[in-house]
Structure formats: C-alpha cells, structure tokens
C-alpha cells in the first residue's frame, strides 16, 4: 500500500521493532486497522495491536484507528463484549521447534481500550474525543446512517454479532475459509472434498463428523448453541461456555495427553471447535455399559485422568499467586455453574417444572425427597461446598456420556468439559462414580446378567483406588508437589507426608460420596436423565431400578462420613 500510494519515507520493519523505532527514530503517528469498534471506542484488531498502542502512548505518538464505517458496532457496549478467537496450540508448535505438549496461548485478536486511541478514522469522517474525553460512536453512527441508534442491555436470547449456526451444508465451506491448518491436517484441498453429518444427541450442543471423502480422514466439529438445546430458546445459555471448554481441554491435554483429544481449531465468536476424531471401536462409555461391554482399563484410566488434572491445577502444584489467578479466570464461567447449582443442587429437592420422573410409580418417592429435611440439609451443605471450595479445575460434567473408550487397554478419552471451573475435587470423582452406580442399578432392566453388574461395582473400586494412588504418587514427587499447599518443608519425613496425604484423601473421599449421591438423585427425578435407565422400556421395571438408585443416592448424601473405604460403599450398594 505504501508503494502503490507513493507515500514518502516508507520503510519495512518487523512489527516487534515498532516501539524501539518510536524511541530511536521517532514517528509522527501510528495508524492501525480494526475488525470491530464498540460503542465506547474500544477496538478489536489482529493480535499485537494492543502492545503497539501501549508503545505509542509511552512515546507520546498519536494512535489512530482507520476502519470502515461498517465495523462500528454499537450493539457492543465495550471491549469486554468482544468475542476474542483463540487459535489452537498446534499453530505455534507445528511452525517452531517448541516441544509437543508445551502449554500455549494463541489469541488471534486483542482489544485496545479507548484511552489509548487518539481518533477513529472512517470513510465518513473522523470520530474525535468529545469535551468529556470519550468517543461518541453512537452519535457518529446515528448522524451518518440516518437511523436511530442506541445501546440497549440485552435480554432473553442473545446471539452475538458474527455468530452463525452451522449445518451439514455450510460446514465444509466454513472450514475451508477459516482453518487452512485443519484442511491440511485431513489432507483436503477444497470444501468439495468434505462431507458433514450431524451426530450429536446431547442436551446443549451441535456435534458433526466431517469426512474428507477422498482419503476418509475425519474430524469432529462441536458448536455451542446460545440456548439449552434440550429445552429450547426459552432457556438462553452463554456461548462463552465453548471458550471455557477449549481452555479446559488445553489444560487437560497438558496434564494428561493420553486421555484427552487434540483440539485443532477454535472460534470464540461462533462457539465452534474442531478436534480429533476418535475412531471405532471407541464409543461413548454409557452406551458400552448398556450393551454389556467390558473395558479392562477404563476405570483405572479415569482415576489417572482425575488425579493428574486435579493435582496439576491445585495449590499442591501451583503457587499462591498462580492459584488465585486461575480461580479468578475460571470463576467467569459462572453461568454454567448456576445451571449446575439449579439442576443438581436445588430443583430435584423441591417442586419444579423442570423435574420429571417415572410416574406414577415414583410419585411417593419424589414427595418423600421433598419432605426429607435431613436429606435437604445435607444437599444444601454440599451445594455450599460446591460454590465456595476452589480446590482445583474441575471437568464439572464428568459422566459416562463424556467418556469415549474401547476394550483396548488405555483407549479412554474424556470430552466435553464446558462446565469447567474451580471447585471441590470430589465433585469430579463423585460424578463419574455416580454414573457407574447408575449403570449398576440399571442392569436389572437389561440382559447383561449378574456377573456384569458385579463387574461394574468392581470398576467403582478400581477407579477410586487408581485416583488415590496416582494422586499420592504425584504428591510424593518433589518435582510435582511444588505448590503452596502442604509445603514440603512442613512434612519432611515419609511418615508425616503419608499422614498429611491420608488426611487430605479422606476429606476428598467423603466429598466424593456426597457428590455422587447428588448426581445419582438428580438423574432420576431432575430435568436430565440417563440412557442407562431411560432405555428400559417397561415403566415398572425401570422404576424398580430407579428406586434402588434413589436409595443408594440418599444413603451417600446423608451418610457419606460413615464410610471409610470404597469397598464398604459397593457392599452397601449391593444390598439395596
């Protein structure tokens, strides 16, 4: 552009040398572009713009944004409302010599605040600061568009600017236009090579399998909807959950790459993620348990996954400053936490329109839950713990529908961590144990036999023991245990360290049982049930299984502290 416009004094520099050039050679002004300009004058542009603005401000160089009139978006109040796309780590690692598994942060854009901007240049004029020092973007747009323009706080269903719900027809072109890396990953040269099929049956999202028809390579595309899918648009839900899911998968992959799928691409604006396809014979664990398939290592794999991801994100591994920083970030996923607090910790214990159960068979059971003060008190204490204890980064939706596996050793993959936040460790471990328990009680309505039901209970024991042993191994390793909690200098002898570990694990065990009971109960009388039980066609047979599940759940919620070993727990479950 400099050459074409014959601008005098044009010189090419590396972008990272701009600040030093301002210092040593001087600059009359700095002009950048923008993809979006908010009502307050905040702008979003390619990554690096923000640091350029800071350099200009430090060296007293006027900083202008030159952008088309169409980029002025008064529906966005400030930069905080701008969706910033984050790109996969592979784009950094695969173009450098960085080691595989190296934690990466790869935002495609950044936001420059209006206090760093001198003026906003458009083809219809320049937006300059008013007497109060602010940019009147709304007034400028109103003046030059001839339309009434105001910023209004959103209410009800909100579809962010730039969001497009994908279909099987639109996805191939979207991938070609937005991710050359993904196209190269599956060996595709054009959108015509790709074929998409929707295969999601979840409560919240769209899920597609996209295939390169020439070489049969596949990828998974997951897109968040701006509402709860199983309810409809009457229950809006933030698209930001996809951003937290992407971040959680990145954290999980760094901590436990063996059991976490790779992510190739992420668009925050579209709530869309492209990730590794996990091929057959891997299937959703829940479906395998219904079919009576035995998985030799799934329980131990899940125990390892929980131990590694929870330990790596806890204050046992992180410094105090790092821990507080992580808690602050993940606390922003509060809308998903609110959903959990509603459908798990509150509604199942009261009269609520979302609740459903096998009626009339379980009518008396549901009423008994509503009238059980001891149960509701215990549930309330667990809710308080869920809301206030920030021990580690949780998957927070770790059920057998969030696990893919095959009968081959070590072939276990944990997916769908969009509820991720910092909470009590026992919630994750309890969630997956609860789903094995639900699979166990459901066996009475399936044809897999008593031996298979017993095998499921063995997996409950194996999972907990795997979690405990792996967690303690990490804690015992000075290279892993370098955080602020249980400082090693306070427990120097093996006996002292073991005693500290035993005390901590005992607390996690009690939490695990209580949360397991909560997760079981809500899957029987709450809004979202499980296929293990729902697939039992005969209502009488189904309700008999569900009643067993409720009895186990209530025992775990109210009497978690009574149980000292996981063997005691499965023995209790076998008698219900």
The Cα–Cα gap between 307 and 461 comes to 15
Tell the CATH superfamily of the 15-145 domain: Translation initiation factor eif-2b; domain 2 (3.40.50.10470)
Q: What is the structure's pLDDT at 467? A: 99
Q: Is the pLDDT of residue 343 over 90?
A: yes
Region 32-45 average pLDDT: 92
The bridge status of strand 30-32 relative to strand 63-66 is parallel
Q: What is the structure's pLDDT at 151? A: 47
Q: Which of 87-101, 265-279, 371-385 has the lowest mean pLDDT?
A: 87-101
Domains 15-145 and 317-403+418-575 in one fold? no
User: What DSSP string describes 66-131?
Assistant: E--GGGB-TT--SGGGSPPPB--THHHHTTS-PPTT-----BSEEEE-GGG-SEEEETTEEEEB-T
Q: What is the structure's pLDDT at 279? A: 96
Q: Which of 68-72, 168-172, 258-262, 305-309 has the lowest mean pLDDT?
A: 68-72
Give the 3-state secondary structure of residue 423: strand
What is the band of 232 on the pLDDT scale with cuts at 50, 70, 90?
Answer: low
Give the 3-state secondary structure of residue 465: helix
What is the band of 41 on the pLDDT scale with cuts at 50, 70, 90?
Answer: very high
What is the band of 7 on the pLDDT scale with cuts at 50, 70, 90?
Answer: low
pLDDT mean across residues, the chain: 92
The Cα–Cα gap between 18 and 49 comes to 11
- Comparing CA positions, the residue from 62, 48, 60, 63 lying closest to residue 15 is 48
pLDDT tens column, 547-572: 999 999 999 999 999 999 999 999 99
Neighbours of 87 (CB within 10 A): 21
- Percentage of the chain lying above the pLDDT 70 cut: 92
- Comparing CA positions, the residue from 530, 534, 536 lying closest to residue 447 is 536
- What residue spans define the domains of the chain? 15-145, 317-403+418-575
Q: What is the structure's pLDDT at 149? A: 47
The Cα–Cα gap between 433 and 419 comes to 18
Neighbours of 252 (CB within 10 A): 24
Q: Helix, strand, coil % (nearest 5) of the chain? A: 45, 15, 40
If 0-12 CB within 10 Å is exposed, 13-18 middle and 19+ buried, where does residue 320 land? Answer: exposed
Q: Are 222 and 275 in contact (CB under 8 A)?
A: yes
317-403+418-575 maps to which CATH number? 3.90.1200.10
Cα end-to-end distance, the chain, whole Å: 77
Peptide bond preceding 387 in cis form (omega within 30 of 0): no
pLDDT tens column, 118-155: 999 998 899 998 877 789 998 888 888 765 544 444 45
Strands (E) across 278-395 are located at 283-284, 392-394
- Percentage of the chain lying above the pLDDT 90 cut: 74
Whole-Å CA distances, 329 to 64, 266, 322, 333, 458 = 31, 19, 11, 8, 38
Region 425-432 average pLDDT: 99
Neighbours of 169 (CB within 10 A): 8
Residues with Cβ < 8 Å from 317, sequence gap 6 or more? 311, 474, 480, 481, 482, 483
Phi, psi of 557 (to 5 degrees): -65, -45
pLDDT tens column, 168-218: 999 999 999 999 999 999 999 999 999 999 986 666 789 999 999 999 999
What is the band of 98 on the pLDDT scale with cuts at 50, 70, 90?
Answer: confident
């Amino acid at each position: 552009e400099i050459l074409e416009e014959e601008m005098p004094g044009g010189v090419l520099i590396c972008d990272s040398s701009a600040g030093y050039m301002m210092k040593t050679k001087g600059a009359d002004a700095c002009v950048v572009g923008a993809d979006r300009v908010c009502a307050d004058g905040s702008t979003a542009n390619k990554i690096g713009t923000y640091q350029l603005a800071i350099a200009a401000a430090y060296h007293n160089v006027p900083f202008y944004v030159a952008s088309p009139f169409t980029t002025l978006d008064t529906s966005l109040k400030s930069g905080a409302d701008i969706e910033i796309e984050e790109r996969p780590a592979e784009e950094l690692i695969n173009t450098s010599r960085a080691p595989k598994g190296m934690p990466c942060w790869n935002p495609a854009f950044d936001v420059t605040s209006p206090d760093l901007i001198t003026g906003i240049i458009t083809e219809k004029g320049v937006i300059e600061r008013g007497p109060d020092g602010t940019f009147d973007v709304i007034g400028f747009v109103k003046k030059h568009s001839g339309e009434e323009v105001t910023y209004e706080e959103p209410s009800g269903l909100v579809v962010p600017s730039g969001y497009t719900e994908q279909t099987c027809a639109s996805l191939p072109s979207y991938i070609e236009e937005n991710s050359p890396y993904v196209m190269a990953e599956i060996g595709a040269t054009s959108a015509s090579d790709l074929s998409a099929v929707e295969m999601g049956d979840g409560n919240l999202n769209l899920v597609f399998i996209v295939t390169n028809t020439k070489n049969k390579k596949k990828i998974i595309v997951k897109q968040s909807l701006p509402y709860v899918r199983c309810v409809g648009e009457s229950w809006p839900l933030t698209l930001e959950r996809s951003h937290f899911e992407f971040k959680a998968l990145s954290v999980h992959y760094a901590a436990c790459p063996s059991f976490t799928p790779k992510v190739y691409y992420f668009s925050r604006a579209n709530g869309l993620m492209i990730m590794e396809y996990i091929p057959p014979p891997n299937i959703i664990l829940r479906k395998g348990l219904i079919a009576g398939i035995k998985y030799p290592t799934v329980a131990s794999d899940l125990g390892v996954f929980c131990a590694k991801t929870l330990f790596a994100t806890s204050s046992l591994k992180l410094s105090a400053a790092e821990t507080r920083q992580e808690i602050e970030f993940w606390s922003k996923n509060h809308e998903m936490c609110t959903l959990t607090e509603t459908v798990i910790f509150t509604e199942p214990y009261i009269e609520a329109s979302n609740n459903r159960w096998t009626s009339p068979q379980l009518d008396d059971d549901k009423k008994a839950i509503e009238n059980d003060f001891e149960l509701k008190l215990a549930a309330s204490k667990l809710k308080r713990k869920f809301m206030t204890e920030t021990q580690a980064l949780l998957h927070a939706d770790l059920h057998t529908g969030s696990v893919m596996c095959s009968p081959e050793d070590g072939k276990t993959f944990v997916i769908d961590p969009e509820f991720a936040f910092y909470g009590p460790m026992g919630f994750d471990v309890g969630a997956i144990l609860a789903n094995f328990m639900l699979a166990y009680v459901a066996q009475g309505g399936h044809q897999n036999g008593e031996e298979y039901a017993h095998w499921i209970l063995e997996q409950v024991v194996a999972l907990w023991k795997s979690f405990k042993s792996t967690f303690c191994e990490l804690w015992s390793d000075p290279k892993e245990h370098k955080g602020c909690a249980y400082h090693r200098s306070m427990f120097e002898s093996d006996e002292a360290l073991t005693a500290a570990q035993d005390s901590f694990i005992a607390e996690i065990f009690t939490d695990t049982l209580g949360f397991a009971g909560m997760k079981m109960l809500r899957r029987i009388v709450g809004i979202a049930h499980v296929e293990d039980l729902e697939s039992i066609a005969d209502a009488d047979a189904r309700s008999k299984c569900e009643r067993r599940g409720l009895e186990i759940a209530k025992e775990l919620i109210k009497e978690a502290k009574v149980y000292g070993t996981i063997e005691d727990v499965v023995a209790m479950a076998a008698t219900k």
